[in-house]
């Protein structure tokens, strides 16, 4: 009988020990759409998120150990790079686009400002290997990680395998990024009838629905489309956006519509970070758009907002800030 | 009696071929009917030379058919063949030759669904250097080397062929008729048939999905053949 009990205990232990702990944190409000990411192919677990979090903050992912993902995606800036118009990389390189904020990525079908990357799992390969970002060879990175006992241990906890593969690294980085969910702004409290807009915010919300919501669609505040929003071409960068991926003339100067959540933390704005503040962004949409064959149909009609309305609109946009996301220790640098 | 030893050696050799044949499909890369060796100098037409330094390509979706009907379809059928690792040219499929079939079909490259499926392991792990990191997608085939005809600074050519989205879908499906199903065979990739169709003056570097990538991939159609051992 003792033997049976012992065997049962052993099996129970093995079951508990070897099944990664399932993370139930991926809960989203009822008014959110279904996520795009296929969790069946990469089910979230605490141990995989932990591995991804360590990787995200580790500068050894770069060629010379100087740059981590968090260098350009800082948690205090909703994982964007505040105050830097263009991303900074290895050896003080300057990129050609603004580092985007990272949150609510489970709903995003395509990645990068031009949609060049078709899956969140494969997104990390771009900055890791780009000569102006982290400049590392992916095969070499996996060799480096396999020499580190801490990573071997974390990999074993996550995948029951000490041998770290490219697949494990990419999926774990995805897991951490998928865990970055921001759904706790004042806007969300209003949706859940737990708060009310001020009169000014309410007026701003009405203006938002009239002028902005077609592309920056609630509740994610983007429809994930690619649009030419009428920015004059920067003749130095000469960036034609989605055209570089599709080679279709209709995609020339089109860039991904970004989410407006956490807007206050993620300045400067636009794909090349040309606008330092929201006033400049609104001014662009009111009277600085450049007409061109690919200008978004939704922006051909002039937008008229007086000074008061502009302030009202900004008051609403600030209800999209989610301080509980930005200062969540769960997403911060892992101290242990 | 003195002929016995050679006979036994021949018998063992033949049995080995049959045994291996029964376990899977052997691929071979050749140049002018000779087994291709990396970094060996080959004649390129009558007046020039060519050297190959790297040949890697994906074979996927292996199927066998009998009178047009699929009798075998390999699951998880993704194989990276790398000439620097001879073992990779043998694809193990136990019991395949217990079936009767008159056609073998396979893809050179990776299909669009797999290209959009996120991080994958094994031969599809991006650590193998067969994945474009700056614009998603697997590289179906890599051929690198040098040829005096190549109008590049050091006469090097690098063909990284791929692309899974229209209009630059480069995946090629090869159909080969099996006339003698019970005789050991291998599948030959005749590099000479391919590179002799390429104008190295104009085309020496292909590194992204493009019309050239599609064109060079289509030329592969005539370079694979089934040969009996």
pLDDT of residue B2: 54
- Between CA B119 and CA A199 the distance in angstroms is 48
Per-residue pLDDT of chain A (336 residues; tens, 9 = 90+): 455 555 555 555 554 444 545 445 688 899 999 999 999 999 999 999 999 999 999 999 999 999 999 999 999 999 999 878 888 888 888 888 999 999 999 999 999 999 999 999 999 999 999 999 999 999 999 999 999 999 999 999 999 999 999 999 999 999 999 999 999 999 999 999 999 999 999 999 999 999 999 999 999 999 999 999 999 999 999 999 999 998 899 999 999 999 999 999 999 999 999 999 999 999 999 988 899 999 999 999 989 999 999 999 999 999 999 999 999 999 999 986
CB pair distance less than 8 Å for B119 and A122: yes
Give B-chain residues touching A126 at CB under 8 angstroms.
133-134
DSSP A94: B
- Partner-chain contact B118 A122, CB within 8 Å: yes
Nearest by CB to residue B118, choosing from A42, A116, A138, is A42
Q: CB of A170 within 8 Å of any CB in chain B?
A: yes
- Token pair 């989203």 is found at A28
**pLDDT tens for residues B72-90?**
999 999 999 999 999 999 9
Residues of B with a Cβ under 8 Å from any A Cβ are 115-121, 125-129, 131, 133-136
Cα B227 to Cα A166: distance, rounded to the nearest angstrom: 37
Contacts of B131 in chain A (CB under 8 A): 122, 125
| Residue in A117, A121, A128 nearest the CB of B119 | A121
Q: What are the chain B neighbours of A166 within 8 Å (beta carbons)? A: 119, 121, 125-127
**DSSP 8-state symbol, A321:** -
Q: From chain A, pick out residues whose CB is under 8 angstroms from the CB of B136.
A: 116-119, 122
Is A322 in contact with A332 (CB distance < 8 Å)? no
pLDDT in tens, B13-65: 444 444 455 589 999 999 999 999 999 999 999 899 999 999 999 999 999 99
Q: Provide φ and ψ at B213, rounded to 5°.
A: -60, -40
∠ at Cα A187 (A186, A191), nearest 5°?
Answer: 115
Beta-carbon separation of B117 and A120 below 8 A: no
CA distance B218 to A259: 42
pTM: 0.87
Tell if the CB–CB gap between A167 and B117 is shorter than 8 Å. Answer: no
pLDDT of A16:
47
A contact test, residue of B76, B134, B136, B214 with most A CBs within 10 A: B136
Burial of B8: CB neighbours in 10 Å, binned 0-12, 13-18, 19+? exposed
Tokens, residue B173: 């499906």
Q: How many residues does chain B have?
A: 229
- What distance in Å separates the CA atoms of residue B126 and residue B137, rounded to the nearest whole number? 10
Residue A155: the pLDDT is 98
Going by C-beta distance under 8 Å and a sequence separation of 6 or more, which residues neighbour residue A184?
A322, A324, A325
Q: Is this complex scored with an ipTM above 0.95? A: no
User: B105 has which bridge partners?
Assistant: B63, B175
A118–B119 CB contact, under 8 Å: no
């Amino acid at each position: 009988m003792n033997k049976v009990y012992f065997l049962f205990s052993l099996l129970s232990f093995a079951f508990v020990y070897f099944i990664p702990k399932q993370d139930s944190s991926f809960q989203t409000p009822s008014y959110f759409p279904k996520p795009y990411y296929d969790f069946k192919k990469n089910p979230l677990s605490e141990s995989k998120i932990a591995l991804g979090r360590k990787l995200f903050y580790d500068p050894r992912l770069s060629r010379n150990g100087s740059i981590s993902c968090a260098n350009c995606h800082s948690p205090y800036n909703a994982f964007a790079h505040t105050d830097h118009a263009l991303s900074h990389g290895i050896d003080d390189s300057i990129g050609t686009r603004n580092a985007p904020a990272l949150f609510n990525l489970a709903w995003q079908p395509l990645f990068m400002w031009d949609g060049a990357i078709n899956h969140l799992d494969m997104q990390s390969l771009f900055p890791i290997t780009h000569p102006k970002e982290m400049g590392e060879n992916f095969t070499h990175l996996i060799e480096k990680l396999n020499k580190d006992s801490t990573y071997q241990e974390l990999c074993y906890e996550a995948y029951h395998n000490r041998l770290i593969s490219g697949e494990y690294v990419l999926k774990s980085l995805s897991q951490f990024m998928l865990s970055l969910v921001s759904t706790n702004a004042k806007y969300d409290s209003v949706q859940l009838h737990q708060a009310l807009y001020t009169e000014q915010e309410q007026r701003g919300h009405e203006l938002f629905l009239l002028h902005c919501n077609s592309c920056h669609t609630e509740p994610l505040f983007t429809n994930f489309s690619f649009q030419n929003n009428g920015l004059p071409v920067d003749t130095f960068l000469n960036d034609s956006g989605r055209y570089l991926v599709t080679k279709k003339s209709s995609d020339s100067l089109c860039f991904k519509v970004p989410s407006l959540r956490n807007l206050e933390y993620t300045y400067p704005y636009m794909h090349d970070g040309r606008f330092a503040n929201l006033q400049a962004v609104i001014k662009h949409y009111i009277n600085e758009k450049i007409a061109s064959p690919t200008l978004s149909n939704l922006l051909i009609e002039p937008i008229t907002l007086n000074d008061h309305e502009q302030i009202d609109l900004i008051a609403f946009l600030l209800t999209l800030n989610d301080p509980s996301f930005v200062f969540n220790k769960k997403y911060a640098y892992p101290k242990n | 009696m003195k002929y016995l030893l050679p006979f036994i050696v021949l018998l063992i050799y033949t049995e080995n071929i049959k045994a291996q044949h029964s376990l899977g499909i052997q691929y071979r890369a050749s140049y002018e009917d000779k087994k291709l060796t990396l970094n060996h100098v080959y004649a390129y037409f009558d007046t020039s030379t060519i050297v190959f330094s790297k040949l890697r390509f994906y074979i996927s979706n292996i199927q066998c058919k009998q009178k047009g009907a699929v009798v075998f379809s390999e699951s998880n059928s993704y194989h990276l063949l790398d000439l620097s690792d001879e073992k990779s040219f043998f694809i193990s499929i136990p019991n395949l030759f217990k079936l009767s079939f008159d056609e073998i079909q396979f893809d050179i490259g990776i299909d669009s669904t797999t290209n959009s499926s996120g991080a994958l392991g094994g031969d599809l792990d991006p650590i193998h250097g067969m994945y474009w990191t700056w614009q998603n997608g697997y590289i179906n085939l890599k051929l690198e080397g040098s040829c005096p005809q190549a109008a590049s600074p050091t006469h090097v050519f690098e063909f990284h062929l791929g692309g899974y989205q229209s209009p630059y879908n480069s995946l090629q499906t090869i159909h080969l008729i099996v006339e003698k199903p019970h005789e050991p065979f291998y599948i030959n990739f005749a590099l000479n048939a391919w590179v002799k169709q390429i104008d190295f003056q104009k085309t020496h570097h292909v590194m992204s999905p493009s019309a050239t990538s599609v064109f060079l991939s289509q030329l592969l159609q005539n370079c694979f053949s089934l040969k009996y051992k």
